Amino acid sequence: MKWARVVVSLLFAAAIFWALDNRHGVVPAFGKFLNPFAGFWQNGTRGDKLPAELSVPGLRAEVKVVWDSRHVPHIFAENDHDLNMAQGYIAASLRLWQMEFQVMYAGGRLSEVVGPTALQLDRFHRRFGMVWAAENAAAETGQDPQTREAAQAYTAGVNAYLSGLKRKDFPVEYKILDYGPEPWTDFKSSLLLKYMAYMLCGNSSDADWTRLRQALGEAAAEALFPYYPPLVDPVIPPGTPLDFKPVPVPQPPSKATPGMGGAPGQWPSATLGPAGFALPGQLEHGLGSNNWAVSGKLTRSGFPILCNDMHLGLTLPMIWFEVQLSAPGVNVRGVALPGSPGVVVGYTEKAAWGFTNGTDDVVDWYAVKFKDASRREYLDQGQWKPTWIREEPIKVRGSQAVVDRVVYTHLGPVFRLEGEPASQEADVPPDTAVRWVGHDPSNEFKTLLMLDRARNYDDYLAALKFWDCPSQNFVYADSEGNIAIWHNGKFPLRWKGQGRYILDGGNPADAWQGWIPHAHNPHVKNPARGFVSSANQMHAGASYPYYLGSDYASYERGARINEILAASKDITPEDMIRMQGDVLNIRARALVPRLMELLKEAASSATEKLALEELRAWNFECRARFIAPSIFERWWRELNVLTWNDEKKGDMTRMPWPSSQVMIDLILNHPDSVYFDDKGTPEHETLAEIALKAFRAACQGLEKDFGPWGESWTWGKVKGTRIDHLGRIPGLGWDRLEADGTSVTIDAIARAWAPSWRMVVATGPEMKAWGIYPGGQSGNPGSAYYDNSVLDWAVDKPYELIFLKSADEQNPGIAARTIMRGAK
Amino acid sequence: MIAVIICLLIMLGLQVLTPFWWWIMIVPFAYGVAAARSGARALSIGFISAGLLWLGSCLYFYFTGSRIIAGRISRMIGLGKPGLVILAASLVAALAAAISGYAGYAVQKLFHKSGSKA
């Protein structure tokens, strides 16, 4: 009896101990987590206090850090090594968990933390060759003394912070997920840039369009997804003369090349049924970024002004953190990526620059023909050539490790093997290899470090030559009065349309056959119109001699930017800040009058009559408090559903929607188009009938989802902007934020995607700038600086940025000073 | 009362000096093995000392800088209000310590043939 009592009570106590000491699925290890002395209670605002002194072993001299009232560090070092090391130390102290989580995500290691649920995602990143790509980039970075030393010093700084970190001070996410940080490496910084590159240019429509072409024919595919869509005002102003002599472009292969594996015309193969196509969401058009620069001819000060707002996924912590970096030869202010040395977007004492995504097609997919099921050999140029295997071990928390044996050809990794289910992330057929510019050795760090030191146009241009991937529109302005934009990256030299559809991996004519010389990238300096701009739209008109892709952002933001700037003069920074908050929807402006005309007075229900009145009175601004944007957005969606979804044929499991400018062109200029007819009915529907049907469906849909007409229909509520925590942990984000804007307005606050860093830089003898991002400098959800900028960001109230000349400069915005010293 | 204070102070010292939560189980267990005069006493001393320690500490940290994080965590675990998280933490500590204390007393009884009041 006594023994039984002992055994039972000990077992019971042990069970309680085990339950509280271990994580169970999404339930944290409550013993550790709730512990007041080392659990989440320690992640409070006490961590916001800034030390007057810090001992950082490895520093060569004293580093002074001036903190402003928004917790922005202004780092002053005596040499580059200390500057990079101090940046690494401070980045880790503010954003350690984010840094590590992002690279674990990119490197296919999330299963180590969250268990088998992340295995598919991890396998996707391994199969896509993310780790291989980062290894290639890290090797290249290591070849260059400047980038090697920067990466090493940054890594040393992160690890110096880690070495002094106590468990109770771990970021709260480690405590929730019950694991701990590991040492930083240079490789992880490379992986971080690959994460950005994949996010910005890792996707492609090749598989979707291949299915579409096969089902509807080449003519329809090219009409619906044209190389040069209507309405687009390209990045490089039409008529800009070429300042280079184009090199010859390769010729496309003949349609039927005998003896080659998997010719695209025969894809998908008979063995691939509809179950093989688990499709991702609709292609999203209109998401991207804006940048522009106006010359001194158009500004009140007589000096250029540069503006940039990069649209990225909304997360807390945000992807950027603000920093000023200063050492002999460098003084730069802007935003950095936690995990990478240098400032990514910002300005120096003489020059400013910013990015928008180039949106070019730098990912091509190739059908590969293997000799047999062993996949040891594949067909290339009529000969069997050996593959090579890269083993990708994936540790899985609470389960056995998995080793993925990824097959590589000269093109790149084979993404999906025969018999494997389709990936949700890339819906390509089996035995397809991926060729990505991001796989090749490159050193984008070099560009960033050189831009951080740029003083004039030549410095800027020299820096751009090192930037391969992701391709970006690099906007530029300087205090000498220059403005410029380069559509910049490393682009394969291809025949027109090469890579638009899945290619034949065995055909040399389908392979990349060289590179477009850097000087031939689309660019313009000091154009006559007095401004340069980009919004992810088509880079240049038909006179540009090379093919870079055909799936660019729709025209709205770019056209709106250009129409405002073309009508502006005597511009001030305040004008530019206001312009970044412009929410006029030119898609609605183009369509609503015509659609209303088509509807005539057909509205029947009270709700429909109210909706029509609302649209009639609308000024086309997408304000959170307006109802009209909700009606228009839903009407637009229903119009697309009714116009396009019935076109699905053959093996297509859905019909990709053409971009908005194709649809607008049809409505305004081709109302008799066959696409408006609903193929599912024997009758012939007209545009007017479809427009009415879509309008009624929109009103009914809003009533169903948001209740009767009223406050709940306002755009801010219908749009439902939210900022999730980076790791999707409930309670650590913003569940609801009512903000103006939509994905096609300049102020492109969509549901979960929005301007991630708005910046306006007024160049001149003294650079002045304003900036804001949705979040805060600290990655700690318990900090007062975690999300302190969100509300100001939502109403577009950027902060004037403090840019110090020296660490001893006085400024009312300075909140604290820290001296960092190497250990004696 | 003295036992509660002694247990509480020992746990407090160990928790401040080390990052381990399980002192709130070890100390009551040790008390149960070495000094408890009854099962009920072992159980209640553990319950009160650990419960009070975590309740007081949570309140202290809540009012000295952890208000924001407690609010977020209360939403994360679905309790809604930080006060409920403080209560839950105290209760977790109290129950774990109580069970551990009782287990300690059961072990003590194994080696002592008499004197049990439980």
Q: Is-contact B74 B80, C-beta < 8 A? A: yes
Q: How many CA atoms lie within 13 A of A197 on its CB side?
A: 34
The band of A618, judged by pLDDT with boundaries at 50, 70 and 90, is very high
What is the Cα–Cα distance from A731 to A724, expressed in whole angstroms? 9
- Cβ separation of A44 and B69 shorter than 8 Å? yes
**SS3 call for A435:** strand
Least confident of A33-42, A252-261, A646-655, A741-750: A252-261
Q: How many domains does chain A have?
A: 2
Residue from the list B21, B64, B100 with its beta carbon closest to the beta carbon of A35: B21
Report the pLDDT averaged over residues A262-280.
29
Nearest CA in chain A to B14: A37
Q: Which chain A residues are within 8 Å of B57, Cβ to Cβ?
A: 36-37, 41
Which of A200, A216, A240 terminates a domain? The answer is: A200
Q: How far is B2 from chain A (nearest CA, A)?
A: 23
- Residue A652 scores a pLDDT above 90: no
Instruction: Give the count of Cβ contacts less than 8 A between chain A and B.
Output: 132
Q: Measure the CA angle with vertex A95, ends A89 and A101; round to 5°.
A: 115
B110/A46 CB distance under 8 A: no
Q: What is the pLDDT of residues A706-764, one digit of tens each?
A: 999 999 999 999 999 999 999 999 999 999 999 999 999 999 999 999 999 999 999 99
B44 shares contact with chain A (CB less than 8 Å): no
CB contact under 8 A, B66 and A782: yes
Asked if residue A695 belongs to a domain, the reply is yes
Task: Please indicate, yes or no, if residue A814 is contained in any of the structural domains.
Answer: no
Identify whether A470 is preceded by a cis peptide bond (ω within 30 of 0).
Answer: yes
Measured between CA atoms, the residue of chain B closest to residue A176 is B73
Q: What is the 3-state secondary structure (H, E, C) of A347-372?
A: ECCCEEEEEEECCCCCEEEEECCECC
B63, closest residue in chain A (CA to CA): A44
Is the pLDDT score of A653 beyond 80? no
**Would A334 be classed as within a structural domain?**
no
Q: Do A36 and B60 touch (CB under 8 A)?
A: yes
B85 neighbourhood in chain A, CB within 8 Å: 34
pLDDT for the residue A268 = 29
Contact B96 A168 (CB under 8 A): no
Contact (CB, 8 A) for B54 and B64: no
Domain membership of residue A684 as a residue range: 586-620+627-713
Q: How far apart are the first and last CA of chain B?
A: 19
What number is the average pLDDT over the span A427-445?
94
Are B69 and A17 within 8 A, CB to CB? no
- pLDDT over 90 for what percent of chain B? 86
Taking an 8 Å cut-off on Cβ atoms, the answer to whether B69 and A732 are in contact is: no
| CA nearest to B80 within chain A | A731
Strand intervals (E) in A27-103: 53-55, 63-68, 73-76
pLDDT value, residue A263: 36
**Look-up of token digits 């599912």:** A680
Any chain A CB within 8 A of the CB of B72?
yes
CB contact under 8 A, A44 and B54: no
pLDDT by residue (tens digit) across A109-127? 999 999 999 999 999 999 9
Chain A residue numbers touching B99 (CB-CB < 8 A): 9, 12-13, 16
- Chain B: give the shortest CA distance to residue A604, in Å: 45
In a domain, A443, yes or no: no
Task: Please name the amino acid found at residue A820.
Answer: M
Contact A44 B72 (CB under 8 A): no
Does A541 reside within a domain? no
- Cβ contact, residue pair B99, A38, below 8 Å: no
ipTM exceeding 0.90, yes/no: yes
Does A692 map to a domain? Answer: yes
Q: How far apart are CA A30 and CA A173, in angstroms?
A: 13
A562/A543 Cα distance (integer angstroms) = 20
Cβ contact B92–A35 (<8 Å) = no
- Whether residue B19 and residue A12 make contact (CB cut-off 8 A), yes or no, is no
Distances in Å between the alpha carbon of A744 and those of A169, A296, A337, A628, B94?
42, 28, 26, 15, 56
Confidence of residue A611 (pLDDT cuts 50, 70, 90): very high
Write the DSSP assignment of A145-207 as a string of letters.
HHHHHHHHHHHHHHHHHHHT--GGGS-HHHHHHT-------HHHHHHHHHHHHHHHHS---HH
**CATH number of the domain encompassing residue A92:** 1.10.439.10
Most B CBs within 10 Å, among A32, A37, A176, to test the B interface: A37
Pairwise CB contact (< 8 Å): A31 & B22: yes
Is the pLDDT confidence value at B118 over 90? Answer: no
Residues of B in contact with A13 (CB under 8 A): 25, 29, 99-100, 102-103
Is pTM beyond 0.90 here? Answer: yes
* Contact criterion met (CB below 8 Å) for A292 and A534: yes
- For residue range A353-381, what is the model confidence (pLDDT) as tens digits? 999 999 999 999 999 999 999 999 999 99
Q: What is the mean pLDDT of residues A200-212?
A: 88
Is A528 within a domain? no
Q: Do the domain assignments include residue A669?
A: yes
Is A433 within 8 Å of A420 (Cβ atoms)? no
| pLDDT at residue A6, as a whole number | 86
Burial category of A690 from C-beta neighbours within 10 Å (exposed 0-12, middle 13-18, buried 19 and up): buried
Task: Kindly list the residues of chain A whose beta carbon comes within 8 Å of any beta carbon in chain B.
Answer: 2-3, 5-6, 9-10, 12-13, 16-17, 20-21, 30-32, 34-46, 166-168, 172, 176, 729-732, 780-784, 786
Query: CB-based contact (8 Å) between B81 and chain A?
Result: no
Closest residue in chain A to residue B25, using alpha carbons only: A17
Q: What does DSSP say about strands A377-380 and A388-394: parallel, antiparallel, or unpaired?
A: unpaired
The distance of A398 to chain B (nearest Cα, Å) reads: 22
Write out the two tokens for A257. 């090349």
User: Is the Cβ–Cβ distance between B28 and B97 less than 8 Å?
Assistant: yes
SS3 category, A737: strand
Question: Tell me: the pLDDT tens digits for A497-536?
Answer: 999 999 999 999 999 999 999 999 999 999 999 999 999 9
Residues B24 and A34: beta-carbon distance below 8 Å: no
**Measured between beta carbons, which residues in chain B are less than 8 angstroms from residue A784?**
68
Alpha carbon of B29: minimum distance to chain A alpha carbons (Å) = 9
* Alpha carbon separation from A550 to A36, A102, A437 (Å, rounded): 56, 30, 17
In 3-state terms chain A splits into helix, strand, coil percentages (rounded to 5) of 35, 20, 45
